[in-house]
Copies of this chain bind each other. A is one copy, B any other.
Amino acid sequence: MKKLELVGKKPGQPYTTIDVRGVQIGGDNFVVMAGPCAVEEKNVMAQIAENVVKAGGKVLRGGAFKPRTNPYSFQGYGEPGLKLLKEISNIFNIPIVSEVVDVRDIDLIAHYVDILQIGARNMQNFPLLIEAGKTNKPVLLKKGMTATIFDVLHAAEYILLEGNNSVMICERGIRTFETYTRNTLDLSAVAALKTLTHLPVIVDPSHSTGRTELVGPMMKAALAVGADGIIVEVHSNPENALCDGDQSLSLNDFDSTMQELKKMAKVLEKKL
């Protein structure tokens, strides 16, 4: 049986670089995507976006449709959230990434965002993968909490089979017996993916650790291990975030970690 015909890295094959409104992802670039868990009020979004850009972030994140374990949890602002995210994107000239949860919403979301995110819970939602493969939008595909390295590569193959080659694979932590952290961020999976696929590999240090004080060290480790970028939760006021405040960096902490990353990037010959 055929497998990984499209996502597998053949000997000598160069790594894929994806262009998102002028931002290069892959190759010798290290891209930082940052923003709040959920899209917030306009003035909050503006403050966050301004600081993300100033610190060197290249993509703004923010959820409008939030998949939540508990049906009584806040589910996001929906389309009005996307509109606001787009407005902020235009003001600060920064591409945006947001999650698509429902296969029926793909066209709507693709209309607003620059990168379609497929979340960990939907990594094997095959109709969603196929429809994302039919759009011309780059896709950030999160590895499931229980998915193996080969599972996520097969999921990516579904997207490429439809003709969309602009896929980034995102490691966001797996479920293990350890309870101190929310999940276990598997950086050896990142190193392994860089040997197995030509697609860019992104790391999410926020959802994986679930603890603010561990986010900075894992951002640095992600750069060192060879990831092509990170997607990180940042908020101007983590205590009052609509969601995920416990794992969001403050603007100050984000800025100071970015300074460290820049110094490291230089000796690791990565553009940041």
Contact = CB atoms under 8 A, between A and B. Distances in A.
Count copies of this chain in the complex.
Answer: 4
A213 B176 CA distance: 24
B184 A184 contact: yes
Nearest to A119: B124
A197 B264 CA distance: 26
A209 B1 CA distance: 23
B191 A214 contact: yes
Contact of A217 (B102, B180, B226): B226
Interface in A54-95: 67-73
A127 interface: yes
Interface residues of A, number: 71
A208 to B, nearest CB: 7
Given A154-B70, A264-B267, A217 B213 contact: no
Given A175-B146, A176-B177, A184-B184, A3 B191 contact: no
A267 B67 CA distance: 40
Given A103-B127, A124-B67, A127-B101, A149 B180 contact: yes
Contacts of A155: 69
A185 B214 CA distance: 16
B121 A178 contact: no
A174 interface: yes
Contact of A188 (B189, B192, B209, B220): B209
A178 B189 CA distance: 9
A150 B104 contact: no
B67 A180 contact: no
A15 interface: no
9 shortest A-B CB distances, which residue pairs? A146-B146, A224-B224, A175-B177, A121-B124, A191-B217, A221-B225, A102-B127, A220-B224, A221-B221
Interface of A: 1-3, 67-73, 101-104, 121-122, 124-127, 144-146, 148-151, 154-155, 157-158, 161, 174-181, 184-192, 194-195, 208-209, 211, 213-214, 217-218, 220-226, 260, 263-264, 266-268
21 contacts: A3-B72, A67-B126, A69-B151, A69-B155, A70-B154, A101-B127, A103-B127, A146-B146, A174-B176, A175-B177, A176-B177, A176-B184, A178-B189, A179-B179, A180-B189, A181-B188, A187-B221, A188-B214, A192-B211, A218-B225, A266-B267
